[in-house]
Amino acid sequence: MPKLPTYVLVTPARNEARSIELTIQSVVAQTVRPLKWVIVSDGSTDATDEIVSRYAAKHEWIELLRMPERRERHFAGKVYAFNAGREKLEGLPYEVIANLDADITFESDYFSFLLDKLAGDTELGIIGTPYVETTNETYDYRFVSIEHVSGACQVFRRECYEAIGGYAPVKVGTIDCIAVITARMKGWKTRTFTEKVCMHHRKVGTAQCGPMKARFTAGVMDYTMGNHPVWQLFRVGYQMGQKPFAIRGLAMGAGYLWGYLRHESRPVSPELVRFHRREQMQRLRAKFAEKVLPNRNSALPRGA
């Protein structure tokens, strides 16, 4: 068994008192603990700081970093918080850095499993696992390939994180997608390993709004990320088949169309958009081939 790389964690947390203790308990229970874990309270006004301070007093490798309060809640703030936490790690001999959400839980061998994957393949730059919602809904990879790594817990090889220039401070979101696509564009492999999952204790995308508005916002973000229109059509079609039927997909489609009509600015380079669309069309072609070729082969005579 290869030697496991050393790792550190950074968790931006804003008003996560309802779930952060569960996340802390999951990390404390790990069979392989991090060199350091910086939890960045991003202007929290609830009991987040008190909960983290209680555990930091017991475990010297946990540190609470308090950021000033801010009125706006946006994803760029999360990036600023992550960067502030990362600065606290300077001088530590870590090989892996993970961005861990403050509302997920996982088994005690979760990080040893992921570290083993990195140790076994030096080309892997970003890895993670699927998440399961508290409603038992599992992240669906039919329209986001196994190469996508969810933002709930993104585990970076340090060289990869530095090569992509870290997270892009984009207010509307997609910071996890931009990181993963940029890594692949630069030649790194990214991968979600489905042998394990983490439990997400809040419906994704609903921290600031309801489920339908979250779908609309997701559609706008799909446009700003440069999703190919054909890909988006299939994505909306799939979403229309999920409960509540039709409305979910229509909300996402409306968001994409809204972004198109308003010419929403894209926080990514034209090069990344071209790379992203090329990957999407390759996946669609592979899906169609998967459906068509078995039927063709079944019509062939035995031995053909």
Tens-level pLDDT at each residue, the chain (304 residues): 679 999 999 999 999 999 999 999 999 999 999 999 999 999 899 999 999 999 999 999 999 999 987 666 667 889 999 999 999 999 999 999 999 999 999 999 999 999 999 999 999 999 999 999 865 555 555 556 899 999 999 999 999 999 999 999 987 778 999 999 999 999 999 999 999 999 998 765 545 567 788 889 999 999 999 999 999 999 999 888 878 778 989 999 999 999 999 999 999 999 999 999 999 999 999 888 877 655 544 443 333 2
Please state whether the peptide bond connecting residue 244 to the residue before it is cis, i.e. omega within 30 degrees of 0. Answer: yes
On whether both 82 and 48 belong to a single domain, the answer is yes
**H or E element at residue 224:** helix 211-224
Would 262 be classed as within a structural domain?
Answer: yes
Q: Give the residue from 156, 171, 200 where a domain finishes.
A: 200
3-state secondary structure of 41: strand
Beta strands at 62-67 and 124-128: parallel, antiparallel or unpaired: unpaired
Residue 1 lies in a domain: no
Q: By C-alpha distance, which of 249, 33, 27, 268 is closest to 140?
A: 249
Residue 206 falls within a domain, yes or no?
Answer: no
Token pair listed for 264: 């929403």
Amino acid at 277: R
Tell me the C-alpha distance between 185 and 126, whole Å. Answer: 13
Let me know: does 215 contact 252? Beta carbons within 8 Å: yes
Q: How many domains does the chain have?
A: 2
Q: What is the pTM of this model?
A: 0.87
Alpha carbon distance 131, 30 (integer Å) = 18
| Same domain, yes or no: 239 and 281 | yes
Distance from the first to the final alpha carbon of the chain: 44
Is residue 304 domain-resident?
A: no
Give the CATH number of the domain where residue 127 resides: 3.90.550.10
CA dihedral 153, 156, 158, 162 (to 10 degrees): -100
| Whether 104 and 247 share a structural domain | no
Indicate whether 105 and 137 sit together in one domain. Answer: yes
Cα–Cα distance measured from residue 227 to residue 274, given in angstroms and rounded to the nearest whole number? 9
Q: Which of 151, 180, 200 is the last residue of a domain?
A: 200
d(CA 35, CA 37): 7
Q: Both 187 and 118 in a single domain?
A: yes
In a 3-state reduction of DSSP, which class is residue 96? Answer: strand
For residues 196 and 215, state if they share a domain.
Answer: no
Confirm if 286 and 234 have CB atoms less than 8 A apart: no
For 225-236, b where at least 16 C-beta lie within 10 A, e where not — what string?
bbbbeebbebbb
Q: Which domain holds residue 103?
A: 7-200
Domain end position, chosen among 165, 200, 235: 200
196 and 223, same domain (yes or no): no
Q: Is 133 inside any structural domain?
A: yes
Evaluate whether 27 touches 58 at the Cβ level (below 8 Å): no
CA distance 34 to 93: 11
